[in-house]
Structure 1
Amino acid sequence: MIKVFLLRIMIFNIAFTFGQSKTFFNSKNDKIKIPFELSNNLIIVDAVFNNIPLKMIVDTGADSNLLFSYPVEDTIRVDKDKRLFIKGIGTSQSIEAFLSSGNQFTIKEYLDSNFEILIIPNLEINLVNKLGIPINGILGYSFFKDYLVEINYERELIFLHANKEKAIRKRAKKFKKSSVEVENFKPYLQLKTALDKQEYQLKLLFDTGLSDGLWLFESKTISSDRYYIQDYLGRGLSGDIKGKRSRVNKISFSDIEVNEALVSYPDSLFFKQISLVKGRNGSLGGDIIKRFNWFLDYENKVFYFKKNKLLDAPFEYNMSGMEVQHSGLELVQKEFSITKFVSVDSETSYVADRSQIIPNFRFELKPTFEVCAIREASPAAKAGLKVGDKIISINNKLAYNLNLQKITTLFQSEAGKKIKIAVVRNGKILNFEFTLEKIL
């Protein structure tokens, strides 16, 4: 399971100018409808960048737009205006990047003819491994700043509203509202949270690019609940990021309470390089944000929200302790039959000759999966599974007939469920069996 999207780059000591975006509505209406795919609580949209189709994550937690993966069959032409060096989570190493402006960017009828983006050509980020979907980049602040942005998680639709007052009057009148602080091009909410029976007022980054529901930074005043597990949280530039996973008693959105949400406390080791906004306690992520529908008004620093049908859905986690990722494609031989038909008269009548069924074969490209992380003392670890094991089958279903979402759902399904898994390790087929355990 992808616990959190950690491959966003944390950028330091770079003065982004956010040159004047030239955005247009190529629509007769005063709103634009943009469908999205919700994968691991992340919003993924289809976009066109300099005439090349891309898939982008819509990320309120990103101050800039990023491009880090290119379609292999296409060539993207850009002007590299400025060479930069940036740093990422968990590493002191600098990475070469280029700031490019004057690009053309479209999503449906939305057009930005002076689109500014940070290009990272040598960064090995392959999100198809983590999400099962090829992701090319991140859409950040510039997408949100000019219009009222409505996010409807139930319908998996984004609406851009040119007439804010009209949309708020007609569409958001039954929504509750909250003031937000926009600092360094990122929005922050103040929310009441109960941790281990104590209440705190927390300043949280509103972060649709975070798959987890809640991240908190431990400090002198904030610490995890007494009941927690050490878990794999994601992957940064220097390797796996680990930390504590627990639950919070409740998080309050005005008079709406979200109860028993999962919370992650990343090891402070991985955030030494990050200059946090003053007073920030953590991040509010997709697994909680998706339980509401939203209107985001950056200009007036107000967010409107309304609970949706996802509010009371349980907060699930991987009870196997084994993280799986897409590891590529392989050719799989499929058998099918060709039936010979014979004439039964001299005109047009034919019947199948069952004695002449001809076997035939075709080859199809199918996904492969591998174990990418194991939680210590978890059911998978106790059974003997290891990082790098290539998965052949799970519960007697061939792995290439599955996808990451189906595997994630299985590992979250129910405590006590038996999992049978066959893997290849060092050229040998090994079989393992374990039972899902609910710890939190």
Structure 2
Amino acid sequence: MIVPVVINGVELSFLLDTGVTKPIIFNFLNVTDSLQINNVETIQLRGLGGGEPIEALRSRQNVLKIGDAINISQDLFVIIDQTLNFTPKLGTDIHGIIGYDLFKDFIVEINYQKKHIILHDPNYYTYKECKKCEVFNLTFNNKKPYLDAIVGIRDKNIPIKLLIDSGGSDDLWLFEDIDQGINLDKEPYFRDFLGFGLSGDVHGKRSKVNTFKLKSFELSEVNVAFPDSASIRFAQQFSERDGSIAGGLLRRFNMIVDYKNAKLTIKKNSHFKDPFYYNKSGIVLEQQGLRVVKDLKRPSIENLFPSSLGNTNPSSSGNNTISMVQIMEYSLQPAFTIVQVRENSPAEKAGLLVGDVVISINNKDTSKHSLQEVNGLFHDKDGKIMSLKIERDGLLMKYKFRLKNVFEQQTPQ
């Protein structure tokens, strides 16, 4: 979920992330030099990932505006390091993250179906009766919201407490705990890159759980990730936390988020029964820079035979000469670059490499599609042949491979 946010008069795009407290700004120097940051001091920020904390500026007394809602005394964190950039990963401009400081002052209605967010004044909001809804009592730690759920692993139903992480792109993260039974025993899994945190890359295992329950709402064969312990040391400081429920699951519900009354109301939407897919290619793409795309434009009949030329009937007398002119148009389009190739994946075995720019997939020009649409092609059925045209060091090459069940040759160690 990306929302327009105006900071000190400059409009930026922010990821709505319930997993953060103060707003964080990054990747704005390439967009504007007019953003004024007030009353700054240097601090250290730590998040997911096994690396060191990163340096940031803490800024006070900023004016933040979302729609008609205004805060004239907003604290925020500013990260100058240009390597922290979510734009290539999402394929759209992202300049920051906002969470608690938006939710704390409003009742926030999130409709994933219609792709809209409504901010309600708690003093005037009236809940409607909803027989198809489930209501959860929220608990908070460090201003972050948690809910209780039940996960089914090896036919055992295990109560868990999960961070509500609307900014995460996965479905479910669980922290391994052998005593609780939250671990992979003989279940198939594969190792993978899970994402990027403030403190570096996050790796871990991907698998599925039998069931996942939010009161009466139950889902089967749900995708789950178990991040490596080194990546979640900071996250595990809250000992009651067992993992996170992220965007892939949350988007299956429309929600009313009420921090003031510590309450979450959810209702199934049309995405509820969507299948849980994994990327079967082993490729991770990012939008990195631009590439030149040329399109051949053919002249129209009107351009070939303009009325001012008079009689153009081929049967008429005289010598008529027609020149077919080909018009080539050039444009700059996003370049979708391979940044990860999973070990032993179909893409790796076919010979694809990190740094390859994907020009087309099954004769579909990638420049005519969004990053999400291109990535979605790798979620197709087992055995689907993928024909890729790529650019490597200025040369065009073609590769083919078949999508393969990600668990087929994976065995627990």
- What's the TM-score once normalised by structure 2's chain length? 0.88
Q: 343, 347, 357: which one pairs with 2:308?
A: 343
1:326 to 2:287 alignment: yes
1:193-252 CA-partner distances (Å, limit 9, x unpaired) = 111211111010011011111000112322025121122212346654321111111111
Q: Give 1:253-402 correspondences, 5 Å limit.
A: 253-337=214-298, 339=303, 341-343=306-308, 355-356=322-323, 358-402=325-369
- Per-residue deviation, 1:123: 4.2
8 Å contact from structure 2 (residues 39, 61) kept in 1 = no
Change in CA separation of 1:239 and 1:98 when aligned onto 2, cut-off 3 Å: closer
Query: 1:44-67 deviations in whole A, cap 9, x for unaligned?
Result: 112211111111001111112100
Partners of 1:156 and 1:414 in 2: CA distance: 28
Question: 2:52 touches 2:199 (CA, 8 Å); kept in 1?
Answer: no
Q: Partners in 2 of 1:247 and 1:105 — Cα distance? A: 41
Counterpart in 2 of 1:231?
192
Whether 1:68 aligns to 2:33 is: no
Identity %: 34
Q: Which residue of 1 aligns with 2:52?
A: 93
Q: Secondary structure at the match of 1:355?
A: coil
Aligned to 2:79: 120
Q: Is the 8 A contact 2:281 2:378 kept in 1?
A: yes
For residue 383 of structure 2, what is the aligned residue in structure 1? 416
The verdict on how the C-alpha distance between 1:293 and 1:399 changes in structure 2, with shifts beyond 3 A counting, is: closer
2:340 is paired with a residue whose SS is strand
The alpha carbon displacement at 1:73 in A equals: 4.4
Pairwise CA distance, 1:389: 1.6
Contact 2:211 2:221 in 1 (8 A): yes
Q: CA, structure 1 residues 295+411, in 2 after alignment: closer, same or farther (shift >3 Å)? A: same
Structure-2 separation of matches of 1:73 and 1:288: 32
Equivalent of 1:185 in 128, 135, 143: 143
Gap runs ≥5 in structure 1: 1-42
Verify the 8 A CA contact 1:172 1:295 in the aligned structure 2: no
Aligned to 1:140: 99
Alpha carbons of 1:237 and 1:79: their partners in 2 closer, same or farther (altered >3 Å)?
Answer: closer
Report the Cα distance in structure 2 between the residues aligned to 1:359 and 1:67, rounded to whole angstroms.
Answer: 47
Per-residue Cα deviation, 1:317-357 (whole angstroms, up to 9, x for no partner): 10111111112112333343552524266xxx999x99255
The answer for the alignment partner of 1:55 in structure 2 is 13
Does the 8 Å CA contact 1:148/1:164 hold for their aligned counterparts?
Answer: no
Residues paired across the two proteins, number: 394
- Deviations along 1:250-300, one digit per CA (max 9) or x if unpaired, are 111111112111000011122234452121100010111111111111111
Correspondent of 2:373 among 406, 418, 433: 406
Measured on the aligned residues, the alpha-carbon RMSD in Å equals 2.4
Q: For 2:57, give the aligned amino acid.
A: F
**Partner SS for 1:343:** helix
**Are the aligned partners of 1:331 and 1:366 in contact in 2 as well (CA < 8 Å)?**
yes
Partners of 1:300 and 1:72 in 2: CA distance: 40
Q: Which amino acid aligns with 2:94?
A: I
Partner of 2:159: 201
* 1:167 aligned onto 2:134: no
Structure 2, gaps ≥5 residues long: 314-319, 408-413
Native 8 Å contact 1:91 1:238 kept in 2:
yes
In 2 relative to 1, CA 350–172 (structure 1 residues): closer, same or farther, beyond 3 Å? farther
> SS of the residue aligned with 2:294?
strand
Residues 97-142 of structure 1: per-residue CA shift (max 9 Å, x gap): 1111221221221212222210011241222211110100001101
Paired with 1:171 and 1:44, the residues of 2 have a C-alpha distance of: 29
> How far off is 1:87 after superposition?
2.9
Moved over 6 A (4+): none
Mean CA deviation greater in 262-271 or 325-334: 325-334
Q: 2:321, 2:193 → 1: CA distance?
A: 56
- TM-score for both structures, normalised by structure 1: 0.83
Q: Which amino acid aligns with 1:415?
A: D
* Counterpart contact for 1:224–1:244, Cα < 8 Å: no
